Chains A and B, each alone.
Chain A
Amino acid sequence: MAADPTRRVVLTAAAAAPLLLAGCKGVGALGPLPKPASAVVTLDHAITAEELMVARYQAALGALTGQAKITTVIGTLLAEHQAHLDRLRSLLILPPRMATASPSPSPSPPAVPTGHSQVIAELTAAERAASTRLTQQLLGAPPPLAQLMASIAASEAAHPVVLLQAGLG
């Protein structure tokens, strides 16, 4: 059986250790700014990407009120992205945005196109890009995180099928 992908990735110590070591040796030993553990960076990027997807879907829902069928589909997919985000955040035992050396800004999705078919086209492109990015990033992730990221990338790869189906209706 595969390892439990929900197992917590304990990252805090790994991220903090270089700072402590550098601090013991004086300023001369500081050298370049210590980098957070790569798994922390990978996870943080994945979290930021999911936050952006949630924001995109929320904006799309706001723009399409009254169009029952498509808003139902978008609501379902939004819930799945929220589930991705919750699962990813549950693995990060650090305050959000502390993981990277340069804090990333809060995601602000681009303005939502108003037309029904434009919204679908924009979300479809965003899903495919997110899936591709996650696939690249999971190559360097620890095994349980790689499994979770692969599952999320598969979910996002399949979302355009549902979006395009809803667009036909």
Chain B
Amino acid sequence: MRGSAGRLGSPDARALAALQPALAAEQAASYGYGVAGAHLTGARYTEAVSDWIAHQRARDDLENLISGFGGQAVPAAAAYQLPVAVRTAAHAISLAIILEQQVTAAYLGMVALPDSQLRLYAAGQMQAAAIRATRWSDRSQAFPGLASAPQPGHG
């Protein structure tokens, strides 16, 4: 260690700068799925719980990675301004789709890091999020995370 882990531009600082936005997106998704799940029943509810757990696991992974790089995980907010107001099952599904798209995009910084393990992890998470988004929406995207997808709620 050269005592420069926090210096701007050092490899660890670059890793941390890419890990924190991914963590923030996973924290927001963990919160959002809690809201979505409350408006879903049956198979959709089960799916929401399973996705919620996946985001919590990713959040824990990222917190551990951040600690490993000598950083401090930025804590989750107590509450989040959701991109859609959720009052029905259809709203809950729209929210899940948006959360997955945001998570996919949030891993783009990590997938550009020189560290192969971090790249592989980020690429795997982008795939998992794209699969979940497609399960909720029944539609695929040509460029998940990159696409300037129309944002419901901004119309």
Which residues of chain B are near A135, meaning CB under 8 Å? 120, 123-124, 127
**Interface flag for A29 (CB, 8 Å):** no
Number of interface residues of B (CB under 8 A): 31
Measured CA separation A165–B135 after assembly (Å) = 9
Least Cβ distance of B127 to chain A in Å? 4
Which residues of chain B are near A2, meaning CB under 8 Å? 105, 108-109, 112
**Interface flag for A89 (CB, 8 Å):** no
Number of interface residues of A (CB under 8 A): 31
Least Cβ distance of A39 to chain B in Å? 14
Q: A157-B131, A158-B131, A161-B135 are in contact. Are A150 and B140 (CB under 8 A)?
A: no
Residue of B nearest to A81 (CB): B142
- Map CB proximity to A onto B91-132 as digits: 1 under 8 Å, 0 otherwise: 000000000000011011101110010011011101101110
Cβ-defined contact, B140 with A80, below 8 A: yes
Measured CA separation A148–B143 after assembly (Å) = 8
Measured CA separation A7–B132 after assembly (Å) = 28
Residue of A nearest to B133 (CB): A158
Residue from B122, B124, B129, B140 having most chain A Cβ neighbours under 10 A: B140
Stretch of A54-62, A104-112, A138-146 contacting B (4+ beta carbons < 8 Å) = A138-146
**Interface flag for A11 (CB, 8 Å):** no
Which residues of chain B are near A151, meaning CB under 8 Å? 104, 108, 126, 143-146
